Amino acid sequence: MKASTAKRNRLVTGLLFLAPSIGGFLLFTIVPLTLSFAMAFTNWDVRRHNMFRTESIEFVGWENFQRLLSHPAFWQYLSNTLFFMMGIPVAIIGSLLAALLLTKDLRGVGSLRRIHFIAVGVLLISLIALHLTGFDFGGMKFMIALLFGGILVAGFLGRSTVYRTLFYAPHFTGGVATFLLWKKMYNPQTGPINTALSPVVSSIESLFQWLPPVAGPILALVAVLLGLTTLGLLHRKLGQAWLDAEAGRGALLALGLLSLFPTAMGFRWMQETWLAPLWLVGAVVSVGWFMARPMRQQPFRQVSAGFGLMRLALPLSGAVVAALLLIGLGLVAWRLPLMAASGEMAPPDWLADYHWAKPAIMIMAFWAAVGSNNMILYIAGLTNIPRELYEAAEIDGANRWSCFWHITWPQLAPVTFFIVVMSVIHGLQGGFEMARAMTQGGPAGATTTLSYFVYIEGFESGRLGYASAVVWALFAIVMFMTLLNFKFGNQNVND
Amino acid sequence: MSWLPKTELNPGAPRSTLRYHLLLTFLGLLMMLPFVWMVLTGLKPLAEVANESWIPSEFKWGNFKEVFSVIPFGRFYWNSLLVASWVTFLQVITSSLAAYSFSRLRWPGRDKVFLLYLSTLMLPGLVVVITNYQIMIKLGLVDTLVGLVLPSAFTAFGTFLLRQFMLTISPSLDEAAEMDGASKWRIYLDVILPLCRPGLIALTIFTFVGNYQSFFWPLVMMRDQEKYTLPVGLLFFDSEVGQSTHLLMAAVTMSVLPMIILFACLQRFLISGIQMGGVKG
């Protein structure tokens, strides 16, 4: 009897402390959640059910979802969203590299006098370099050189704190203000990006115009050969590390695969007809990769070891990725002289161009994402790795690459997992602010993501039932992706 | 071997860090270039905006003043500060109370309720935004600052972050306080809150900055131009006088610079907050 009173008292105290939070939680999360689910099955439309027209709101079953699936725009917006998400692995790699640089021991530059000496030297060298490259727009070279010297000196004194602030600033200030800033920078006529690009482009153009048109195929061949050599060198360099590092291999492959498409597809000369086979091959490879993952688990591995299936799957998909890269490279080289000859070579119109709008936004998002919370999490993860691991590896004569693949990357696996899960969740519902502030979802819906679609349907068209259906479809995709992440991604985290 | 910590075996030559400094400076400069362009364009006369040179022929500090006369910029500033402050204030209170309950008190069903909280962290915010708007219409709070503040005043994230902080405080402290006859409320006020000050500061900055920049909710909620917050106001500015890039950049500068300064001063707390909320979760 007494025990149960004490228990009840504890419950009452606990709930009293929780009351303000749970009250708001119920009112603004649980209730709307339930309502929104119900709304997805109604034909609630502000234009038909308002204070002037009181048609009753009816349940229409799965009609909204059926309409959604047969709506071609939905598929376009879904693929836009997925396209933007291909920037995620690139951004994660960027954050990791930044974190690796920032956790370096930056002491030991020396005395203040030495710092001054270096600063003056850097200033002079950068001035001379800028002058030699002909980069002379009024006081620009002085300004850039001054900034460089200034940051360098600040870095000597404040070390990683200074650089961290610089890297983190784009993320911290992110939002409509910076989107408007980039919108102005991307302006094809007056923006600084094209102002700086057009002399470069025209010099490239005159270079290619000077070449005969036959040069195209030859250039393509040279580019492919160069690409092959680079891949070969990389393969040799990675060498044993690639074969050994269990945790790193799969993840690296996936990251490489994902980061391929934005580079390949961003190019304007990849016409729509080229996109279809690229998508197809990419899809096949990713499906193959996902199917290959479970096969590496114990029972399968023993069975497949004899057939060498698993051994084949990874190099094969790697080869497809490499082939796609080479095709892209070759195409670029092939098209460049042709474009120069017809005089259509110009800096892109960025946000105003159907093919460039997405890459433009992804470049901006990369700028904002490199120094984000992910970088901070990686810095924490890196400082938590026990030093003894590296010292032991050094005694064993491990080189930098194998240290990274065998120690750093596996030790960071929990952090990476967390970052991937959160990035996917955010990525799927992202893109609204950019679309609203920069492009209005255009040109021709090229930058409309699912979240912007929800905004249009729910707040501009007023089709609340339909918008709720979109939201729940999005929710289902988020859950599916998160489950996939938990199923496959955290294998390496637990062991 | 310069990636290894310096030991007696591996003294590391002083010169070796210079290349990292040079590389980091180069990258840091790249990250800063958009901001440099932003500030300098904000100082240009209109005719020079499209010039190749980023440097204005004369520095027009008057641009910054002009922004306030073209749009009610001071008003937007004030609204943003007001909304962000209120949300932060309410969120810190509700989150710390809930976090105390989840980390310090033992009551039946506690962990299940906490799991429910946690699961909403994965919930897309879009799911509730349409219905929340309808709720606001029913409550008559559309186009009011109260309606802007209320739904953001309760978050699972804040509760989660502060709970992580509170779990790092040794339980023997509250046991000792309890021995001395302190009530749970006293322990919360006098023992736990002072000890998780870094967490509270981190949450304060996160919430403040997040709400200073929040866009979707103010955009759909606010009709009256006088009640716009800064991001909505900037968008409005861009659509109204989009041709005066120099003024827009002056306005953007004024909304971005406080954030950079804030981060430079308070980054210690922020970073510990991010690490608490991420790695240990």
Q: Which residues contact B87 (CB under 8 A, 6 or more apart)?
A: B149, B152, B153, B207, B208, B211
- Residue A123 sits at the chain B interface (C-beta within 8 Å): no
Which residues of chain A lie closer than 8 angstroms to B269, CB-CB?
none
Q: Establish if A200 touches chain B: CB-CB under 8 angstroms.
A: no
Residues B230 and B80: beta-carbon distance below 8 Å: yes
> In chain A, positions 328-357, which contact chain B (CB-CB < 8 Å)?
none
**Contact indicator for A204, A346 with CB cutoff of 8 Å:** no
Confidence of residue B279 (pLDDT cuts 50, 70, 90): very low
Q: How far is A155 from chain B (nearest CA, A)?
A: 7
The 10s digit of each residue's pLDDT in B165-197 is: 888 888 888 788 888 888 888 888 888 888 888
Q: With beta carbons under 8 A apart, name residues in chain A contacting B77.
A: none
- Residue A74 · residue A68 · CB < 8 Å: yes
Residue B210 corresponds to which tokens in the numbers above?
A: 């997040």
The verdict on a CB contact (< 8 Å) between B29 and A147 is: yes
Q: Chain B interface, mutation test: which of A184, A367, A377, A463, most B Cβ atoms within 10 Å?
A: A184
Q: Test A25 with B100 for CB contact under 8 angstroms.
A: no
Pairwise CB contact (< 8 Å): A418 & B278: yes
Whether B123 and A451 have beta carbons less than 8 Å apart is answered as no
- Residue whose entry in the numeric block shows the structure tokens 């580079």: A263
Q: Is the CB of residue A269 less than 8 Å away from at least one CB of chain B?
A: no
A11 to chain B, closest Cα gap in Å: 5
Sequence ranges of the domains in chain A: 2-63, 64-106+176-188+352-495, 107-158, 203-347
Residue A253: its pLDDT value, please?
Answer: 56
Instruction: Quote the CA–CA distance of A244 and A239 in Å, as a whole number.
Output: 9
Beta-bridged to residue A54, according to DSSP, are: A49
Count CB-CB contacts under 10 A for residue A90. Answer: 19
DSSP secondary structure of A358-402: HHHHHHHHHHHHHTSHHHHHHHHHHHHS-HHHHHHHHHTT--HHH
Who wins on pLDDT, A264 or B162?
B162
Q: Give burial (CB, 10 Å; 0-12/13-18/19+) of B88.
A: buried
Question: Nearest CB to A177: which of B3, B252, B281?
Answer: B252
A459 and B109 in contact by Cβ < 8 A?
A: no
Tell me how far CA of residue B187 lies from CA of A9, A19, A393, B225, in angstroms.
Answer: 17, 18, 48, 46
**pTM for the predicted model, two decimal places:** 0.81
Using the 8-state DSSP alphabet, how is residue B48 labeled?
A: G
Compute the residue count for chain A.
495
Residue found under tokens 């700028």: A367
Q: What ipTM was predicted for this assembly?
A: 0.85
Q: Do B215 and A17 touch (CB under 8 A)?
A: no
Nearest CA in chain A to B91: A21
pLDDT tens per residue across all 495 residues of chain A: 456 787 788 888 888 888 888 888 888 888 888 888 888 888 887 777 665 666 677 778 788 888 888 888 888 888 888 888 878 878 888 899 999 888 877 665 556 666 677 777 777 777 776 666 555 555 677 777 778 877 877 777 777 788 888 888 888 887 888 999 999 889 888 888 888 888 888 777 777 777 776 777 777 778 777 777 776 666 665 555 545 545 445 555 555 555 555 445 544 444 444 554 565 566 556 555 544 454 444 444 443 443 444 445 555 555 555 666 666 667 767 777 777 777 667 778 888 888 788 888 988 999 988 888 888 888 888 888 888 888 888 888 777 777 887 788 878 877 887 788 888 888 888 888 888 888 888 788 888 888 899 898 888 888 888 888 998 888 888 888 777 777 665 555 543
Sign of the dihedral defined by the CA atoms of residues B260, B209, B73, A368, in that order: positive
Give the integer Cα–Cα distance in Å for A481 and B82.
Answer: 38
* Interchain proximity B159–A21, CB inside 8 Å: yes
Domain A64-106+176-188+352-495: CATH superfamily is MetI-like (1.10.3720.10)
Ordered by where they begin, the domains of chain B are 14-64 (no CATH), 72-278 (1.10.3720.10)
| Portion 233-272 of B in contact with A at CB < 8 A | 234-235, 238, 245, 248-249, 252, 255-256, 259-260, 263-264, 267, 271
Contact B105 A17 (CB under 8 A): yes
Instruction: Enumerate long-range contacts of A145-150, CB under 8 Å, 24 or more apart.
Output: A147/B29, A147/B32, A147/B36, A148/A122, A148/A123, A148/B25, A148/B26, A148/B29, A149/A119, A149/A120, A149/A122, A149/A123
